[in-house]
Amino acid sequence: MEAFQKIHPLEFYRKFLIRSVRPDGRSLNDTRKTTISTGSVTTADGSSFVKIGNTSVVCGVRAEVGEKPSTDKSKLQSINNHENSNIFINIELGPICSNTFSSTKPSDMAMTLCSRLNSLINRLEIPDTDFYFDEEGKALWYLYVDIYCLDYDGNIYDAAVLSILSALKNVKLPKGIIENNDEYYKDLEQPLRELNIKHYLIPTSFSVIEDYILSDPSLEEEKLSTGTINITYNEHKEICLLLVTGINSISESNLKECMKKAKDRCQYIINLINTN
């Protein structure tokens, strides 16, 4: 059976899919166990560890003080009310998580994922005052979010989004004092502040193998898939992102079914995040 799976992986999967089950025992709709923990990286200003099945990522947030953008630049950024220019995302997919990735240069997948994550995080609504370094906001906190994949077994997008959100919720920033216009000091007598994230981003991803749509795909399922569907809701079950790639067309009924599954998963993820 193992030899047949290696030689004819798609045919091997078909024998399971026609019975609406997968080789790992899951139904087509089942997602793998998801765990979230925060604060494990003590040297970071916020951190998280997320595991979905065997896929695991660690996320660290580094806070740096910088000058406030010029008025002209601020006006340009405010064209999009949801644009958040204080948070920058980077993701590393190296050989430590899978031998398909190189240690010498970023993979196309990592660069695409990084761009997609930065675009999505721009939709987070966080008050501008949360990033003030001093009382008047003459200087600002800028957050650099680094995600490292430790083990890659599919659905890295969901794991990355959840790690970012959990790490940002874990961020604690000090107030500061500015002297002589360019000397920045942390005010250690003031309590640390958390970010007031107004809504969560809750992703659910699917892979399409022939006529079958699989929730939370494993790496093997991603390799066999002809397309992917990424759906992200907030905690009010308002859609924030719908991305379909590699598929020429998808029926309205199938898309609605995927959206329903994504909505149903929202409360489960919210509970995981809030318990950390």
Note whether 90 and 62 are within 8 A (CB): no
Whole-model pTM? 0.91
Q: Lowest mean pLDDT of 82-86, 193-197, 222-226, name the range.
A: 82-86
Which domain range does residue 128 map to? Answer: 44-198
- Name the domain count of the chain: 2
Q: Each residue of 6-54: pLDDT tens digit?
A: 777 899 999 999 999 999 999 999 999 999 999 989 999 999 999 999 9
Residue 38 in any domain: the answer is no
Q: Are residues 244 and 176 in the same domain?
A: no
Q: Are residues 60 and 169 in the same domain?
A: yes
Q: Each residue of 203-221: pLDDT tens digit?
A: 999 999 999 999 999 999 9
Over residues 184-192, the mean pLDDT reads: 87
Q: Using N-to-C axis directions, what is the helix angle for 108-121 and 156-170, rounded to 10°?
A: 50
Q: Each residue of 109-141: pLDDT tens digit?
A: 999 999 999 999 888 889 999 999 998 898 999
DSSP string, 211-235: TEEEES--HHHHHH-SEEEEEEE-T
pLDDT higher than threshold 60 for residue 195 = yes
How many Å is the maximal CA-CA distance in the chain? 73
Q: Residue 73 and residue 158: Cα distance in Å, rounded?
A: 32
Q: How many CB atoms lie within 10 A of CB 161?
A: 27
Q: Where are the beta strands (DSSP E) in 113-153?
A: 139-151
Q: Are residues 3 and 96 in the same domain?
A: no
Note whether 59 and 47 are within 8 A (CB): yes
Residue 37 in any domain: the answer is no
